[in-house]
Chain A
């Protein structure tokens, strides 16, 4: 079955903020059901990034689900590949592949591995999972667009804990050096990593000052404010832009929000029912 969300979001001109909110709620419901069915997933990080994904696919990215290899598509890379289910849900609802694929998630020989694979999943640009990989690849995509004289843009979502990997700072340094205005890095600043709070582990603050020092424009916003996200992701700049999206891990379900233990805990049937009720309000 092919979802009709793409039609709903794009057929009648630009999507409204209310449309994006509905899309985000549907992504969260789909993510929840998929994780519960598979008994595996990273729901906390899936939910912190959901509003970012719904905004990108709902009204920012220039992509075509019917033609995922279109040469001049915008490039989107989910560097925090462990949030695969929210990406798969977004892509399936957008029509990149049939919704039924989600039922196979992590099953034997499924196209949908625990981390995304570009050779199996339409709409995925590079295989992520190990942290600190997506940003340099997105940087290469942006350099290629510049060389080829294309106005396509590159976007990468990086987890905040992921910024502890040094490769990201190599990419910040070179992106700033080249003043790549066609590149946007989105930091999912949920302040939790697998084991603890980021600031208790290896602190990142002041993150805006750090990325500014590398030649980027920092835009610190509420990562669940859909209008702020839209504006931060589309307003032009004379420098590469780092959107520091202040998010809440597990956003959308009260008992999952902001708790380290929900990094990759799987909800029970009872918790799924409770969560679905909250997500349908």
Chain B
């Protein structure tokens, strides 16, 4: 089996161009992030539909709301820490509360800027965006999911936060069709003893963890959550009921993040023993790979958390 690794910004840009060819309402807005958002080809093809406001995130999001007011479908493409951190109030008031049809694309989230450090890491974005009313959060995990999620976002009427990773990932959809369905999780591996809930870059690591656990006769289910808001409650509750233990592995803070979302749901419906793995402090210096491992998001780290739960139960 060959393992092709994908920087999801590539299928994102490819799909956006395909959509833009077919629908002249599609426009892009960015903050001097043409290259970091992989929009160079879009700009060449549709120069008048590329609004680069410069390094000014508040204006970027407000401008997008104004473009949407005219019936255009703006995709705001910027590094996730600056999009969600610098322009939080614009996202709240101009997009979520105003119900503007703006697609907010948080590029290179989590610790994908590695050695650049915590100023450039976007570990808080999911918690911040999840607090806003009426803003779907979509986190595709691979090439196929990215393409389908971009297409879905363009067709969805209303604001969306789409988190697009740059850290290269293998396919986890395994040819499933559709690879992405809004609001639905994908059970990418069946299992009965414990469920590992993962999202984005952690899905392939969760699958590798399940392999390690299988060698130790622990049967782990892996759930790929590519829509964090609204959460696939039925699948999460079924996982809790059927496997009795939940590990959440995410490339963001657990408090307010996917871990928080799963814990809130299960606390009210079906409490089970849980372990929440995430990037829960400002990171030390290191590469992306190093940092993911450092925060327990390696296959070994995730497997260890699952084993601990199974042993405890």
Q: Please report A residues at the B interface, Cβ cutoff 8 Å.
A: 71, 75, 117-119, 125-130, 132-133, 135-145, 147-148, 154, 166-167, 170-171, 173-174, 177
B interface residues with partner A (beta carbon < 8 Å): 27, 48-49, 51, 53-54, 56, 58-59, 61-72, 74, 89-90, 93-94, 97-100
Tell which of B53, B65, B74 touches A170, judged by Cβ atoms closer than 8 Å: B53
A143 and B51 contacting across the interface, CB-CB below 8 Å? yes
Alpha-carbon separation in the docked complex, A138 to B62 (Å): 8
Report the minimal beta-carbon distance from A116 to chain B, rounded to whole angstroms: 10
Is the CB–CB distance between B93 and A143 below 8 Å? no
Pick the contact of A137 from B48, B66, B71 — CB < 8 Å?
A: B66
- Minimum C-beta distance from A13 to chain B (A): 30
Which B residues lie within 8 Å of A137 (CB)?
A: 62-63, 65-66, 69, 94
Give A139's nearest chain B residue, CB to CB: B63
On whether the beta carbons of A126 and B71 are closer than 8 Å, the reply is no
Shortest Cβ distance from B49 into A: residue: A147
Could you tell me if B93 and A127 are in contact, using CB atoms closer than 8 angstroms?
yes
A145 to B63, CA, bound (A): 12
Query: Is the CB–CB distance between B58 and A141 below 8 Å?
Result: no
Most chain A CB inside 10 Å of its own CB: which residue of B70, B74, B89, B98: B70
CB-defined contacts of B51 to chain A, threshold 8 Å: 143
B261 to chain A, nearest CB (A): 26
Which of B48, B62, B72 lies in contact with A136, CB distance below 8 A? Answer: B62
Closest-CB distance, A161 to chain B (whole angstroms): 17
B70 contacts across to A, CB distance below 8 A: 71, 140-141, 144-145, 148
12 contacts between A and B (CB under 8 A): A75-B69, A117-B98, A118-B99, A126-B66, A136-B65, A138-B66, A141-B69, A144-B67, A145-B70, A154-B66, A166-B58, A170-B53
Least Cβ–Cβ distance between B53 and chain A, in angstroms: 5
A125, A126, A132, A142: which contacts B58 (Cβ < 8 A)?
A132
Whether A140 and B66, one on each chain, are in contact in the complex, defined by CB atoms closer than 8 angstroms, is yes
Query: Once the chains are docked, how many angstroms separate the CA of A71 from the CA of B72?
Result: 12
